[in-house]
Amino acid sequence: MAWFRFVLYFIAIAFVTWALTRMEISAPGSLKLHVIVGDSDKLGTSEFSPVEIIQAIILGICGLIMVWVARYCPSQRPVALGFGGLALVFVIRESDYFLDRFVVDNLWQVLVVIIGSLLIVYTYRHRKRLTIALARVWPSPGLTLLFAGAVILFAFVPLVGHEPLWQSILGDTYQRVIKLVVEEFIELMGYFLWMIGTIEYAFQARAIGYRVPQPAARRLRDKRRRKSKGTF
């Protein structure tokens, strides 16, 4: 019933996007993508926006799903902990405004460095288990969607959301809110893909975790049969 899940994904994403756009059209400024919080604030912030809140919720869901995979699917634990750690890094990065303003300035950078270092050390120490886990799950629709989301978040958004780009395009008519709107909605699209990929990966990891073990001879025989038939 995988096709039915993808229909539900489409409906859910379309509904959330429609609700956000209708909110802004019905009540201009309700998305709060450019809020001035004080007289000394010259740039404004989008951290109070429903778009940012939805992004944080998505990251929380992804993190919890990866924790479940790591707990109940031991063979996929290295992969799940890696993606779960990335979700935590994203949450901290998305909370940078509040951490800097209400806790300690630049605290989010320290937390990201600490968690990132722990992830690197864990990945290096369990690199063999990670390789085996990836070999068991690949090719994977879930990991493919996770990769697509990562491309949008790591490569596309930083470049397209670069402020000098929009200043160059709009010239004297430049308004920062335009850059923020484009950036945040593209980020939301990347997080949607990330969440769908996480859910699909969890289904695949569960299937692997609960699969009845097969003797080595049978696995080799099935592999030879697939090769002889030209299937992948």
Q: Which pLDDT score, from 0 to 100, does residue 90 have?
A: 84
The residue assigned the tokens 């969890």 is: 202
Single-letter amino acid code for the residue at 231 = T
The candidate with the shortest Cα–Cα distance to 51, out of 31, 35, 37, is: 31
**Mean pLDDT along residues 6-19:** 92
Beta bridge partners of 45: 35
Kindly state the greatest CA–CA separation across the chain.
73
**Mean pLDDT along residues 150-159:** 88
45-72 pLDDT tens trace: 777 788 888 988 998 899 899 889 888 8
The residue assigned the tokens 């995979």 is: 69
What predicted TM-score, i.e. pTM, was given to this entire model?
0.80
Beta bridge partners of 35: 45
Structure tokens at 11: 């409906």
Q: Which pLDDT score, from 0 to 100, does residue 210 have?
A: 67
Give how far Cα 9 sits from Cα of 53, 68, 188, Å. 19, 21, 14
Distance separating alpha carbons of residues 12 and 14, to the nearest angstrom: 5
Distance separating alpha carbons of residues 85 and 197, to the nearest angstrom: 15
SS3 38: coil
Distance, C-alpha 201 to centroid of its chain: 13
For the chain, the structural domain boundaries read 2-210
* pLDDT, averaged across the chain: 82
SS3 81: helix
